[in-house]
Amino acid sequence: MYRVLADATASVHFLFIAYLVTGGFLAWRWQWTIWTHAAAVAWGFSTVLIGVDCPLTHLENWARGRAGESELPTSGFIDYYITGVLYPSSALGLVRMLVILVVAVSWGGLWWLSRHRDYPAQLRRP
C-alpha cells in the first residue's frame, strides 16, 4: 500500500510540474486559473531558487521508507526523475531558462488577450 502511495505522490508531483510549466496557457481559456498558476509558479520557483523543501518529496520519501525502499536522493524529485532522464544534466540551466520563458510567454499572452475587448467573446463556442 505504501508503494502505491509513493507512486501516486510521484504522479501528482509530475502533474504539478506540468501545470507549473503550461498552466498559464489554461488561463487563456479560464482567466481565474491565473491565480492558481501564480501560486504554483511561486512555490515551484521557491523550491529551486531558495531551496524550500517540497512536501510532496517528503510524502514520497516517507511512503518509500514504509514500503522498504530507499528515499529519493537529497537533491530531490526533479534531479531524480527528470534531470538526466528527460534532458542531460548539463542542460539544467537551459531548461530552467526555457521554463521561465514558457511561463512568461503564457502570462504575456494572457495580458495581450485580456487587453482586447472581444477576448471573452472569442471564448464562446459558436
Residue 85 has pLDDT above 80, yes or no: yes
* Residue 79 confidence (pLDDT): 84
What is the CB neighbour count within 10 angstroms for residue 68? 8
Q: How many degrees, rounded to 5, is the angle at CA 16 between CA 1 and CA 70?
A: 40
* Residue 124 confidence (pLDDT): 56
Count of structural domains within the chain: 1
Residue 46 cell numbers, joined: 521557491
Q: What is the pLDDT of residues 43-83, one digit of tens each?
A: 998 988 888 888 999 999 999 999 999 888 877 888 888 88
In the three-class reduction of DSSP (H, G, I as helix; E, B as strand; rest coil), residue 119 is classed as: helix
Q: Which domain holds residue 107?
A: 2-123
* Residue 114 confidence (pLDDT): 85
HSE value, Cβ hemisphere, 13 Å, CA-based, for 115: 6
pTM above 0.85, yes or no: no
Which amino acid, 54? C
Residue by residue, DSSP assigns 37-85 as: HHHHHHHHHHHHHT-PPPHHHHHHHHHHHHTT-PPPPTT-HIIIIIBTT
Q: What is the pLDDT of residues 89-113, one digit of tens each?
A: 899 899 999 999 999 999 999 999 8
